[in-house]
Amino acid sequence: MQFLLLGIFIFLVSFFLKFLHSIIWVPGKIQAHFRKQGIRGPGYRLIFGNTAEIRRMYAEAQSKSMSLDHDIIHRVVPYYYEWSALYGKSFLYWFGTKPRLAIADPDMIKEALLNTGLSFEKMRFDPLSALFFGSGLLALKGERWAHRRRILNQVFKIETVKVRVI
């Protein structure tokens, strides 16, 4: 009986320590790592990250009337609009315990996309965006993405794209 209680106690303590490690320690280390590189962002909030702020910004953006110009970034992604003004073109924000790095510098984007040694995971679409984008190239992953990409590469070869100069 004592061994069973000891086993349960050890299991609970190890579970609690893993929980603290993944919820507090790892996000803190990630945030410190990016701060050393000069990339700031809104602070990490336990368990939920910045999702409450993002929801508040969406609700606030939807409550305002929409202007008739083509500048819609403040309505479509209000968190990016506000945080890029506060923290610069590149900033770190959190969806729960998962960090997201927003990059707007073309050189950094090129470096990230051309660096084949690393894997960059696509963000999942929310249900409304998934309806909008469907099963196109933006939403696909893995083998289905590679297949569609091979098909589309044929379309954009220089021989097939004819430029007409008038």
Q: 14 pLDDT band (50/70/90 cuts)?
A: very high
pLDDT tens-digit series, residues 51-63: 899 999 999 988 8
Nearest residue to 39 (alpha-carbon basis) of 82, 3, 84: 84
Q: How far apart are the first and last CA of the chain?
A: 90
Bridge partners (DSSP) of residue 100 are: 93
pLDDT at 70 over 90: no
| pTM for the predicted model, two decimal places | 0.68
Stretch (H or E) spanning 91: strand 91-95
What residue spans define the domains of the chain?
A: 2-121, 135-166
